[in-house]
Amino acid sequence: MLDRPGAASSRVYDYSLGGKDNYGPDRDVAMAALAMHRVAHLLPRENRKFMRRAVRYLLDAGVRQFIDVGCGLPGKGNVHELAGRAAPEARTVYVDNDPVAVVHYQALLHAVPTATAVHGDARRPADVLGDPDLTALIDLDRPVAVLMIAMLDQIPEADDPDGVVRAFRGAMAPGSHLVICDLASDRLTPADLEKHEKIVELLGFPVEFRPASRLAGFFAGLDLVDPGLVPAPEWRPDRPYDPPSGWLMAGVGRKP
């Protein structure tokens, strides 16, 4: 008998967005989190909607290369789909340390010459940026958008998230953009923190909340695009939106 797989962040996220690429343990964790705190209903959608708005902004700004670090599983409105509709020549590389997510993307992209997926760990930026499948599509001497959507919160302090982001920033050519959406601790109440700890126990993997001032530090040396680092739904909204959860901060920085 096969062992029952444990929960994985990408599959929990997939279930929370109504996807089908998940297993019983992923659904159990997602449902427990949803029952524990109403915010769990909002976060995946705030993340996803921000990503789409950011990609559209970048396309309007002339960006034609995208690296989605910690991409998770494919969903509706993936980066390459948004980019391809606006600019058929745009190129996208998805990166994830979950081989299941990578296989799903590779199957989706088998007939898409302008996009691919690679197995890589963001904590080893040199390996990711030097992957031959990535460099076959992405020219790092030209502007590129590096997306880190709901990814840095899974890199604990011991793994040096500042060093991770610094390595990607350093590899970006002038005119490139860094896109971050991540969990912020500023508005968490003691009750929120207690529920967060219980959710982390259920997940079985670390999830880091950081102050907004710390998240802002990831954009060191970049020019923050208006409106700066703000609650995710407030970043260039294109339609009416529900009140922000307050747990997610989002921003886009441009390398001068």
Q: Return the structure tokens found at 13.
A: 């996220």
More confident residue, 39 or 179: 179
Alpha-helical regions (H) of 37-160: 39-60, 79-86, 99-108, 125-129, 132-137
What pLDDT sits at residue 2? Answer: 27
Per-residue confidence band for 31, with pLDDT thresholds at 50, 70 and 90? low
Tens of pLDDT, residue by residue over 43-64, are 888 999 999 999 999 999 999 9
* CA gap 90, 55 in Å, rounded: 11
Is the confidence at residue 134, as pLDDT, over 90? yes
Mean pLDDT, all residues of the chain: 88
The angle that helices 24-36 and 39-60 make with each other, rounded to 10 degrees, is 100
Helices (H) and strands (E) in the chain — how many of each?
A: 10, 8
The percent of residues in the chain predicted with pLDDT above 90, rounded, is 66
Tens of pLDDT, residue by residue over 198-254, are 766 666 667 889 999 999 999 999 999 999 999 999 999 998 888 888 889 999 999
What pLDDT sits at residue 188? Answer: 81
Number of CB atoms found within 10 A of residue 189's CB:
8
The percent of residues in the chain predicted with pLDDT above 70, rounded, is 81
Strands 91-96 and 65-69: parallel
Q: Return the structure tokens found at 206.
A: 């670390």
Residue 147 near residue 51, CB atoms below 8 Å: yes
Segments making up each domain of the chain, as ranges: 45-190+214-254
What pLDDT sits at residue 40? Answer: 67
User: What topology is assigned to 45-190+214-254 in CATH?
Assistant: Rossmann fold (3.40.50)
Is the confidence at residue 148, as pLDDT, over 60? yes
Q: Name the maximum alpha-carbon separation found in the chain.
A: 56
More confident residue, 19 or 252: 252
* CA gap 55, 49 in Å, rounded: 10
Is the confidence at residue 23, as pLDDT, over 80? no
Is the confidence at residue 128, as pLDDT, over 50? yes
Tens of pLDDT, residue by residue over 55-109, are 999 999 999 999 999 998 898 899 999 999 999 999 999 999 989 899 999 999 9
What pLDDT sits at residue 193? Answer: 75
